[in-house]
Structure 1
Amino acid sequence: MRHPLRAALALALAAALAAPLSSAPGLVAPALAASDQKPGMRPVTVHAEPIQRFQRNGDATRFGEFEFRGGLILSSNERRFGSFSGIDIGPDGSRFIAVADIGRWLTGRLVRASGHLVGVEETRSGVMLDDKGRPLLRRSRADAEAVRLAPDGSGAYVTFEQSNTLKFYRFKTDPSLARATPVALPKSARGMVGNQGLETVAIAPASGPLAGSPVIVSEQSLDAAGNHRAWVVRGPRAGAFSVVRSDDYDVTDGAFMPDGDLLLLERRVTALPVGVNMRLRRIPAGAIRPGAVVDGPVMMEASMADQIDNMEGLAVSTDDDGRMRVTLVSDDNQNPFQRTLLLEFVWLGPSTALN
């Protein structure tokens, strides 16, 4: 999302403590060239600078319930590169798809060595289309915030925050050729605040209590009790529920874990002291039902003492040892003081948490 002025300044100043000015794209996203408005993915060169340690001034590898497995600072000479707000990983564990909140797709392959993220390859970029096949050029229509691949491989679900809509893109290989199909939401999913609404889409396991339904969570559109509004889109438990909001954290993405629980990525921005925090929180899937108010334990928390930025996208996959792997991406807001980061962790399980 595009933050209010105070939050944006806080993010810019906080990231400036960590990022060299030369490694980030321009502050204001330039207009699309005519060639960029044409549907179809095209190759884009992406430079990946490895992040060896998650702690800025330490050698720790375990953080809460997770072990750090490498990171990258991504940059490109592509004028519209950046602003990535959602990511998902394909069934092979390496192919990825990302959306930018300026209405663009990015696809590619993650490269790992000895289980650690070391690079990206085969990167391609393309404009997103609306339901009539027109490029999403206006900011109010292009604000894609989360992406989740359909389990059957038929395409991807994308949330748009300013319009507070969920759309499905049907494709096999090229998302930039796919037209948006609106997904009907429960009637209760109305009245969300523009630019503070749908930030998350997760697809529940088909065999679980939510029967494969998309689950959407708002970033900062809150209910009367001050909790995040959320919905199960369809199925036997379709309807509204709430996610407890705590410690001034906002939800920026979510995905279901292999055991069926919902993993949420959350972010907190502070002006004094200037900085940004992120955390991962686990919500028991069995608790999600219409009218419920759900909460769960914090599995990991990080601050500006760690290699983070404006963390907005989350993907869950499985590593070669069968453990849950989490991939995070940051939204640089097209701001030279911020960075596009890819970070990976593996879940060690609650019994090995270091709190």
Structure 2
Amino acid sequence: MRRAVLSLFLAAVLPIAATGAASQTKPGMAPIDVHVEPIASFGRVSPETQFGEFEFRGGLVLSSPMKGFGGLSGFDVRPNGTDFVAVSDRGKWFSGRLVRNAGRLTGIEATRWGPMRDIRGRPLTRRVRSDAESVRLASSGNGAYVTFEQSNDLKFYAFTRDPALARAEIVAVPRAARGLVANQGLETVAVAPLGGPLAGSPVLVTERSLDADGNHRAFIVSGKQAGAFSIVRSDDYDVTDGAFMPNGDLLLLERKVSALPIGVNMRLRRIAGDAIRPGAVLDGPVALEAAMSEQIDNMEGLAVSTDPDGKTRVTIVSDDNLNPLQRTLLLEFVWTGPAVAVAE
């Protein structure tokens, strides 16, 4: 996660988010008070809305008086396009409903917070076991897959309404996934389209566990094509999340952290979904790239949904590392398609 480096530079450049104290006594999810501050423009100085292949559709800065809120590292949206489920890398669930006005993200409501549980139903407390990094709702709608980076586990939580009541179930990963680097391993879980060649299998991509050629190790978890493949690593970017788009492409969220005064960069990269198979080494175009001149932080969670017009919507959340000098951001974009080259 490279949190130490992030904290060094973000302490110098990012505003302070609100924190406070609260407690929870009943099992399951409990209401949480979340404050929102709208982000009018993705660019800090420019009002433009088009960034690469995406159009900015609003953003929020989230904060809460509850102690421990933040650290959001995974995010997904239900098929209705509004209800969401997120995970914190301190072993917490966060859920709620996205509010939009004229297609633009303006707020969240019905927010709830609760503990993640282990296979015995006990709340996760040990840091090495609670470092949830990505969440992806199952196609069946009856639960979610979650990756845990420090232990390099993939777990399934069966639930329909309250994830904080669900026990973890270990999901077997391919034998090729052995030997991953702790804290740089299973960062991403995406669920392939049911009707595609991978038939709904979870797909895993590592943050910085690399193969012999320096590329990100990746895995198809189940089905006839279960096995390992690679994603080309470039420009010192780490993979922090990914989700399949309606057209079948795998959209990756990537982050690069540099020493002061450069800071942090974020980008989105598209990988052809029909090319994912054991043994493949895959690359794809950069669809969006942003730096500190845009409204970004440590962007870690990605969700793909469809807006009422049928366009592909992308929602991205940042992990503030529970550092009051960082921010929890929620950003939304609509994919406008690959850029068309103009003949000179």
Contact residue 7 and residue 323 of structure 2 kept, 8 A: no
Q: 1:226 to 1:25 in 2, by over 3 A?
A: farther
Find the partner of 1:306 among 294, 302, 311: 294
Matched, 1:5 2:17: no
Query: What is the Cα deviation at residue 214 of structure 1?
Result: 0.1
1:63 to 1:352, Cα distance in 2 relative to 1, 3 A: farther
- 2:214 aligned to which of 198, 204, 226: 226
Query: What TM-score does the superposition give when structure 2 sets the normalisation length?
Result: 0.96
Partner of 2:273: 285
Alpha carbons of 1:195 and 1:236: their partners in 2 closer, same or farther (altered >3 Å)? same
Percent of aligned positions with the same letter in both sequences?
Answer: 66
Q: Which has the higher contact order (CA 8 A, sep 6+)?
A: 1
Are 1:205 and 2:204 an aligned pair? Answer: no
Are residue 101 (structure 1) and residue 89 (structure 2) matched?
A: yes
- Is 1:241 matched with 2:241? no
Q: Residues 316-335 of structure 1, C-alpha deviation per residue, up to 9 Å, x if partnerless?
A: 00011100000000000000
Pick one of 74, 83, 100 that aligns with 1:112: 100
State the 1:352 CA deviation: 5.5
Q: Give the aligned partner of residue 43 of structure 1.
A: 31
Measure the CA separation in 2 of the matches of 1:353 and 1:101.
41
**In structure 2, C-alpha distance between the alignment counterparts of 1:73 and 1:302, rounded to whole Å:** 17
- Match of residue 85 from structure 1: 73
Q: Does 1:25 align with 2:19?
A: yes
**Do residues 135 (structure 1) and 123 (structure 2) align?**
yes
- C-alpha contact (below 8 Å) 2:237/2:254 kept by paired residues: yes
With the length of structure 1 as denominator, give the TM-score of the two structures.
0.93
For residues 186 and 170 of structure 1, what CA distance do their matches in structure 2 show? 22
Query: 1:25 is aligned with what amino acid?
Result: T
Query: 1:185-217 CA deviation, whole Å, 9 max, x = no partner?
Result: 000101111111111000000111111100000
**Equivalent residues in 2 for 1:265-276 (5 A)?**
265-276=253-264
Map residues 44-193 of structure 1 onto 2, 5 A cutoff.
Answer: 44-193=32-181
Distance 1:305 1:126, change over 3 A: same
Please tell me whether residue 344 in structure 1 is matched to residue 332 in structure 2: yes
Query: Secondary structure of the equivalent of 1:350?
Result: coil
Match of 1:315 among 278, 282, 303: 303
For the 8 Å contact 1:204–1:213, the answer to whether it is kept is yes
Measured on the aligned residues, the alpha-carbon RMSD in Å equals 1.5
> Which blocks of at least 5 consecutive residues in structure 1 are unaligned?
none
User: C-alpha deviations, 1:39-88, integer Å up to 9, x for none?
Assistant: 30000010010000000001110000000000000000011110000000
For residues 263 and 241 of structure 1, the distance between their equivalents in structure 2, rounded to whole angstroms, comes to 16
- SS of match in other structure, 1:105: strand
Structure 1 residue 25 displacement after superposition: 3.5
How far apart are the structure 1 equivalents of 2:47 and 2:197? 41
Deviation at 1:10, TM superposition (A): 2.4
Give the Cα separation in 2 of the matches to 1:43 and 1:97: 14
Matched residue type, 2:44: R
Counterpart Cα distance in 2 of 1:136 and 1:289: 34
Q: Number of matched residues? A: 342
How far is the alpha carbon of 1:9 from its aligned partner?
1.2
Judge conservation of contact 1:131–1:179 (CA < 8 Å) in 2: yes
Using the alignment, how far apart are the partners of 2:3 and 2:317 within structure 1?
Answer: 21
C-alpha displacement at 1:287, in angstroms?
Answer: 1.5
Q: Relative to 1, partners in 2 of residues 1:108 and 1:254: Cα closer, same or farther, differing over 3 Å?
A: same
Instruction: For residue 353 of structure 1, report the CA deviation from its aligned partner.
Output: 8.3
CA distance in 2, matches of 1:219, 1:93: 27
Partner of 1:264: 252
Distance 2:171 2:52 in 1: 36
Matches of 1:323 and 1:251, distance apart in 2: 24
| Separation (CA, whole Å) in 1 of partners of 2:3 and 2:78 | 34
**What is the rounded CA distance, in whole Å, between the counterparts of 2:218 and 2:121 in structure 1?**
29
Q: d(CA) in 2 for partners of 1:353 and 1:340?
A: 36
Q: Distance in 1 between matches of 2:340 and 2:158?
A: 40
CA contact (8 A) 2:18 2:65 kept: no
